[in-house]
Amino acid sequence: MGTRIETAQTLSDLFQPVQLGAYQLANRIVMAPLTRSRADEHGIPGALIAEHYAQRASAGLIISEGVNISPSARGYALTPGIYDDAQIEGWRKVTEGVHARGGRIFPQLWHVGRISHCSLQPGGVLPVAPSAIRPEATSYTASGFQPCPTPRVLGTAEIPQIVDQYRRAAQNALAAGFDGVEIHAANGYLIEQFLRDSTNRRTDAYGGSRENRARFLLEVVEAVAGVCGGARTGIRLSPGSPVNGAALDSDPDATYGYVVEQLNAFDLAYIHTIEGVTQGPRELADGVNFQHLRRSFKGLYMANNGYDRELALNARQHDLADLISFGRLYIANPDLVERLRIGARLNVPDRATFFGGGAAGYNDYPALTPA
């Protein structure tokens, strides 16, 4: 066992400290966002969620599950928000628990757009989107997964209001003790719905050209970085993932390349890129070059999707990514950093407990014993 530890440490800096924006992280391993639907009906994170993240504080950085920026941003039942005082107080207990164990944590600011259901919207209204295109997708409701309806088109005058919701969410995140924030611009949710020409048919200043389709994303980044500073702001992108009914952009390399070049003006801490299909194959879609995006970006490049120990060590050995984020492996392995470091066996997650419920399949996975 000692030889395996020495080999991992000798060949890779994956387990060594790294500077990320304003912070020195303990290692290059990141806990990726994972929706688990454990908040209460008011979107307040409780003791269960606080314990969950505290258990995983050995990660260099934790990125929380998606956090709704407003009541209408919600697309999944029992997901937490960060738009009222009770939610802020709930998150403060989460950040205190992570900090007490030496960790860093960002929330992922989230608006689902059309990936929602009327039963989750205030007053039972339709969810909103850049265009009235019904997604071939489902939303997790109190009655289980339900098909998403055709959304209502956002009026041009409404868009600055949503940008302001992102700004207030960033302010609330800092008030709750978070170390920074990640903007969720991936997986076919609202920001990406504006960005892709497959989901944006607008003819106003937010549609048509690549520059217009990227306008909403860049306005959100400007608002959030204006609150947190670029060194405490990251963004998640998924150029090659068609999940949530969002077909790929007709020219993803050019569209996301343009976005990354524009992001450099904000001096962001990182881009968090889903390589391949979210929770699916890592094979690159035609027209997507992740290393081109990495070379174009001035900050750190965080890679995600299907990484295991071997892939992560290889990525650092060949300088393919600065940080590696792990999602599914963190579900069942609270001490994932140590398990990866020594090459230990991993716990197997219980899929039946992924969404909703209590501590079972959430906080009861065992850590390694001293032996």
Predicted confidence (pLDDT) at residue 282 exceeds the cutoff of 90: no
pLDDT tens-digit readout, 12-69: 899 999 999 989 999 999 999 999 999 999 999 999 999 999 999 999 999 999 999 9
Q: Look at residue 94 and give its three-state secondary structure.
A: helix
pLDDT tens-digit readout, 162-176: 999 999 999 999 999
- Which domain does 259 fall in, by range? 15-324
Q: Can you give the CATH number for the domain in which 316 is found?
A: 3.20.20.70
Instruction: Give yes or no for a contact between 258 and 251, defined as CB atoms under 8 angstroms apart.
Output: no
Q: Is residue 361 part of a domain?
A: no
DSSP 8-state secondary structure symbol assigned to residue 20 = E
Q: Is residue 121 part of a domain?
A: yes
pLDDT tens-digit readout, 296-324: 999 999 999 999 999 999 999 999 999 99
| pLDDT computed for residue 83 by the predictor | 98
Q: Is residue 69 part of a domain?
A: yes
Percent residues over pLDDT 70 in the chain: 96
**Mean local confidence (pLDDT), 77-99:** 98
| pLDDT computed for residue 5 by the predictor | 47
Q: Is residue 362 part of a domain?
A: no
Using alpha carbons, select from 126, 20, 119 the residue that is nearest to residue 78. Answer: 119
Q: Is residue 364 part of a domain?
A: no
Residue 272 bridge partners (DSSP):
236, 302
Q: Look at residue 107 and give its three-state secondary structure.
A: strand
| Residue 138 to residue 312: CA distance in whole angstroms | 32
pLDDT band (50, 70, 90) for residue 285: low
- DSSP string covering 108-175, please? EEE--TTS--GGGSGGGPPPEESS----S-EEEETTEEEE--PPEEPPGGGHHHHHHHHHHHHHHHHH
| pLDDT computed for residue 352 by the predictor | 96
* pTM of the entire predicted model: 0.95
| pLDDT computed for residue 281 by the predictor | 76
Q: Is residue 338 part of a domain?
A: no
- Considering its fold, how many domains does the chain have in total? 1
Active site residues: 189
Mean pLDDT computed over every residue of the chain: 95
| pLDDT computed for residue 237 by the predictor | 98
pLDDT tens-digit readout, 97-138: 999 999 999 999 999 999 999 999 999 999 999 999 999 999
- The one-letter amino acid code at 209 reads S
- State in Å, rounded, how far the first CA of the chain is from the last one: 11
Q: Is residue 152 part of a domain?
A: yes
Predicted confidence (pLDDT) at residue 3 exceeds the cutoff of 70: no
- Pairing relation of β-strands 181-184 and 233-237? parallel
Q: Is residue 314 part of a domain?
A: yes
| pLDDT computed for residue 174 by the predictor | 98
Instruction: Give yes or no for a contact between 349 and 326, defined as CB atoms under 8 angstroms apart.
Output: no
pLDDT tens-digit readout, 326-369: 999 999 999 999 999 999 999 999 999 999 999 999 999 999 97
pLDDT band (50, 70, 90) for residue 278: confident
| Residue 5 to residue 338: CA distance in whole angstroms | 10
